[in-house]
Amino acid sequence: MTPNTSQAGRLDDRPDGLHVIGAWTITHYARLQAQIDAFKAQVGNGHDLDRSIDLSAIETLDTAGAALLIDLLGVERMAATMAQAPELSPARRALLDTMTQAMATPLTPKSHEISKPLAFLAQTGERIEDFWRQQRLLLGFIGLILSALVTNLLRPRRWRMTALVAQIQQTGFNAIGIVALLTFLIGAVVAFLGATVLQNFGATIYTVNLVAFSFLREFGVLLAAILLAGRTASAFTAQIGSMKANEEIDAIRVLGLNPVELLVLPRVLAILVTLPILTFVGMLSGILGGALVCLVALDISALQFFTILQEVAPHHFIVGLAKAPLFAFFIGAIGCLEGFKVSGSAQSVGEHTTSSVVQSIFMVILLDAMAALFFMEMGW
């Protein structure tokens, strides 16, 4: 290797001008910086810097040396000097020009600290905007589901009955036990609370009506939907999200298949079938839980309990069961949509799985509240 014979860089202040000599590199940075500081001190004491600058004696130059030259002359003077220095090689001219432009760019001013009320309002606005964006995506995804559903209804050969039956078993039959147990316990709790309140008025017999109305209209479908949102929507998101992370969905598209038709429709149709069934199971289990409490704690016989239950209008059962398909459709759509939004990492799968559960439960409660207001205004 040829030894580096370049002389150390220096400033030479002569009567005919300022000469930049030698190697202006990172190796000599400290000594060159000291020379520049000393020269600036002399200029500050009355010496004139408005003189010619000679760059022809520079032997080597790197970014550190270029930064020192620009610090010495200033951005504007450096640009003027380069324009009047034809002896500079294209490489050094490009380096000096790049460094000049970089050092001429003003630094981004430090952002002012935002007060807590303004920060809270900003975060609230961002969350509202995110919510609105999510609802727009959900509406668009619902449109894709309905479009694929109509297309498949007209083509029976495209029906995927095996996938549909498998999803019905996973989302419905495997969940019957937990739904029945939970609603049975909630029915017992409702009966205990009703008896505690009504006992003060000598009207414990109306505990039967309380249990029947609450589970036929609200608790049966609501508890089943919330359980399905936590159990099934999360499973949909995790399954489709894992396929998205492994690029299996891209492979499906490459094969000319429609991911919505292949992955979403069987899941949505399955949950449309299973939630009404789970709702019916929840209604029966909740009423049986209330009947057990009435039999044990309130001395209301089973015959008396079911005799009073027969007097409850059947439209309460229809109102509760009619909400199940609506809840099921939104739970399935949200679970599948969040799966398609997974970016490709395990962390993203977890985040969107959590988001699908939260959104599904929120949507179920919101729709239930709107349905309750509607049925109340209609007198149903």
- Domains recognised in the chain with CATH numbers: 10-104 (3.30.750), 137-378 (no CATH)
Tokens 């600058």, residue located:
53
d(CA 214, CA 279): 13
Give DSSP secondary structure letters for 92-119: HHHHHHHHHHHHHSPPPPPPPPPPHHHH
Residue 257: predicted pLDDT: 86
Tell me, rounded to whole angstroms, the distance of Cα 316 from its chain centroid: 38
Tokens matching residue 110: 């430090």
d(CA 249, CA 244): 6
Average pLDDT, the chain: 84
Is pTM beyond 0.85? Reply is no
Nearby residues of 75 by Cβ (< 8 Å), 6 or more positions away: 100, 103, 104
Q: What is the pLDDT of residues 70-104, one digit of tens each?
A: 777 777 777 777 777 777 777 777 887 787 777 77
Q: How confident is the model at residue 112 (pLDDT cuts 50, 70, 90)?
A: low
Q: What is the pLDDT of residues 319-334, one digit of tens each?
A: 889 999 999 999 999 9
Mean of the pLDDT values across residues 46-59?
Answer: 66
Mean of the pLDDT values across residues 163-180?
Answer: 89
Query: In the chain, pLDDT over 90 holds for what percent of residues?
Result: 26
Mean of the pLDDT values across residues 114-143?
Answer: 86
pLDDT of 134 strictly over 90? no
